[in-house]
Every structure is written in C-alpha cells, then in structure tokens.
C-alpha cells in the first residue's frame, strides 16, 4: 500500500522501517518543525525528520499547523491509501479523513487504558505490571477509535520509561505490519472500545517530579523510573535542588519513628530516606549544577548525616 507516515519522536522509527521492509511505499513524511535545543539553542530537526533525511524519504513536510487548507492539499497529492501516525499531534478530520482506507495510530498502551500523550510513563507511575501496543483507526476523539489489534507485554519491576519505550517501539512496528496486512486484505475488524475501562495519560509536567516524602516508598520508586528522563524526580536539601537519578525500595521492615524525608541510614549503597510508608534507598543523585554521582559520594562530600531531612 501507499502510506504517509506522521511522527516526530524516535519511538516511531522502527515502525517506519517496518513499512518499507514489508513492501509498502512511503509517499511522504510529516513531522514537527525544527526547534532550538540544548545549551546553545541550535536549531535541530525532530528525530523522525533527521532519520527520514538520512534514508532519502521524500517529500518531508514539517507544517507549523495541520489545520491549513494548503497542508491538506499537499497530503492529497501524496495519494496514500492510509496514513500512519506515531507519537504525533492530534489530527483534525480534514486530515485523518483524507486516505481512502483511513488513518491508523500506534498507541503505547492497551486501550482504552491510558489514553493520552504519556501512556508509558503513566503506566509505570501507577505500578502496572502489564501494558502493550494498540493499533486503532483514528476518529474525532482522543485515542477512542476502533481497535484493529492489541499486543501485550509485561513491565519489569525495575524497568524505566526509556527501557519500556524501546521495547514497545519494536512491538509497535510488528503490530503495525500485522494490522496493515488485515486492512489491505479487507479482513480488519474494528472493535469498539469499552469506555467504562478508560483512563487518561495526561502530559507530564515539571512540577510532578518533586518527591513527596509522605507518599509510600513504592509509589516514589515508581515515579523515579517513570519520569526518566523528563521531568525527572527531585527533592530539596536546604535551598539546593537534588535530582534523584536512581533509588529503590529498602527492605527495611522495622518500625518508623522519623518524619518523612529524614535520612535514617547511610552505607556504601547510598542513603535511606524515611517515606510515609517504608524507606527509599537512594543510590544515585545529581546535585544542581553538577554531574550525576553515587549517593554515597554525595553524602560524604556534602556532609549528609542521619537525621537530616529532605523537603
């Protein structure tokens, strides 16, 4: 089939590779405009645009907005049978209604669970032990269209968002190939989503990264692994912001007498902090303006002692 591929993040690259590997003809790439990134604020293409350029895909368009008539006209000229969308913008009907067989999305959850832009992070944050990929046909709602197929996978007990995202990108590429084969042969069945099971996966905000030590240790641990690399998890010691790069739930099972946020133990593994329920063993930190380091080195250099309290 003839396919227009829409995406911006590197998550979609395996899916684009799968399209060409399975004999589909990519008639165009749609991505987000270049943006200024890094300390030097140099103008940089999206990961998808950069990849597409190296592979010679043409045309590649990066419209500021998808609502303009000129964008719809340009897409019609690409004469695609289907559009495939991965980690991109919300499409207006004037766009997703163009291809004769429809527009299909690769979503990194088992819909209708975790509808929205951050399904990987929200599933880990919630402590889920299973997630997956859903291929669905886009309609006017947000991640509400008819499901072509879903594929499940477990979430490792210490798996981070980048690690899970890498696995799901490969699973998504495999699922897309299966789904498009069904669509092409007119064998696809579009299952209606059960709205009663739906939950959202809203965009991450920087403020969410601040640790509330009154939360239970497992909940904080889930945030640490879910919020990598953005927004990260952080706490304050006096006026200094400290990123908690890695931590795990301590196996300490004794009584809890200290207020949440209190350093209750220090050893070569790092330092343990009292939580609302349980303790968190912090093993890697990044103090403001410095590089990431072992928590034990930070504790020694900063003079962290038992009884000090993070906020």
- List phi, psi (to 5°) of 267: -150, -170
Q: Residues 6 or more apart from 115 whose CB is under 8 A from it?
A: 107, 109, 142, 143, 144, 198, 199, 200, 201
Give the residue extent of every domain in the chain.
2-197, 206-302
- Measured at the CA of 104, the angle between CA 108 and CA 53, to 5 degrees, comes to 85
Taking residues 15-25, report their average pLDDT: 97
**Which tokens in the block code for residue 155?**
């979430």
Can you give the pLDDT at residue 253?
Answer: 67
pLDDT at 140 over 80: yes
Taking residues 11-16, report their average pLDDT: 97
pLDDT digits (tens, 9 = 90+) for 261-292: 999 999 999 999 999 999 999 999 999 889 99
Can you give the pLDDT at residue 36?
Answer: 77
Which contacts (CB < 8 Å, 24+ apart) does range 220-223 have? 220/247, 220/275, 220/280, 221/247, 221/248, 221/249, 221/280, 222/124, 222/125, 222/126, 222/127, 223/125
Can you give the pLDDT at residue 256?
Answer: 75
CATH class of the 206-302 domain in this structure:
alpha beta
Taking residues 290-305, report their average pLDDT: 91
The Cα 152–Cα 159 span in angstroms is: 16
Q: Which CATH superfamily is domain 2-197 in?
A: Formyl transferase, N-terminal domain (3.40.50.170)
Contact of 13 with 171, CB cutoff 8 Å: no
pLDDT digits (tens, 9 = 90+) for 187-238: 999 999 999 999 999 999 999 999 999 999 999 999 999 999 999 999 999 8
Q: Which residue has the higher pLDDT, 269 or 255?
A: 269
The length of the chain is 311
Per-residue confidence at 303, pLDDT binned at 50, 70, 90? confident
**Which tokens in the block code for residue 187?**
């064998």
What pairs with residue 280 in β-bridges? 249, 273
Q: Residues 6 or more apart from 78 whose CB is under 8 A from it?
A: 2, 4, 27, 28, 59
Coil vs helix vs strand at 272 = strand
Can you give the pLDDT at residue 254?
Answer: 67
Sequence-ordered alpha helix ranges (H) in 67-160: 69-77, 93-96, 119-125
Domain 2-197 matches domain 206-302 at the CATH topology level: no
Contact of 144 with 167, CB cutoff 8 Å: no
Q: Whole-prediction pTM value? A: 0.95
Maximum CA pair distance of the chain?
69
């Amino acid at each position: 089939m003839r396919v227009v591929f829409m995406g911006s993040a590197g998550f979609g690259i395996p899916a684009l590779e799968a399209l060409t590997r399975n004999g589909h003809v990519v008639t165009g790439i749609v991505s987000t405009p270049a943006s200024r990134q890094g300390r030097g604020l140099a103008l940089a293409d999206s990961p998808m645009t950069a990849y597409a350029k190296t592979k010679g895909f043409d045309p590649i368009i990066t419209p500021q907005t998808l609502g303009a008539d000129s964008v719809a006209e340009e897409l019609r000229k690409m004469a695609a049978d289907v559009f495939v969308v991965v980690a991109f913008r919300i499409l207006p009907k004037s766009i997703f209604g163009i291809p004769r067989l429809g527009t299909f999305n690769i979503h990194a959850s088992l819909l209708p669970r975790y509808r929205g832009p951050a399904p990987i992070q929200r599933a880990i944050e919630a402590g889920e032990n299973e997630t997956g990929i859903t291929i669905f046909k886009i309609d006017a709602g947000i991640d509400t269209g008819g499901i072509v197929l879903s594929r499940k996978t477990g979430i490792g007990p210490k798996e981070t968002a980048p690690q899970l995202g890498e696995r799901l990108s490969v699973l998504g590429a495999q699922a897309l190939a299966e789904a498009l084969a069904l669509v092409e042969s007119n064998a696809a069945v579009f299952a209606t989503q059960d709205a009663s099971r739906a939950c959202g996966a809203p965009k991450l905000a920087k403020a969410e990264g601040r640790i509330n030590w009154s939360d239970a240790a497992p909940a904080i641990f889930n945030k640490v692994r879910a919020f990598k690399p953005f927004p990260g998890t952080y706490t304050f010691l006096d006026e200094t912001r400290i990123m908690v790069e890695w931590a795990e739930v301590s196996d300490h099972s004794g009584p809890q007498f200290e207020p949440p946020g209190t350093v209750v133990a220090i050893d070569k593994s790092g330092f343990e902090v009292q939580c609302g329920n349980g303790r968190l063993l912090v093993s890697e930190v990044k103090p403001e303006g410095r590089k990431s380091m072992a928590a034990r080195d930070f504790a020694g250099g900063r003079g962290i002692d038992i009884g000090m309290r993070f906020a």
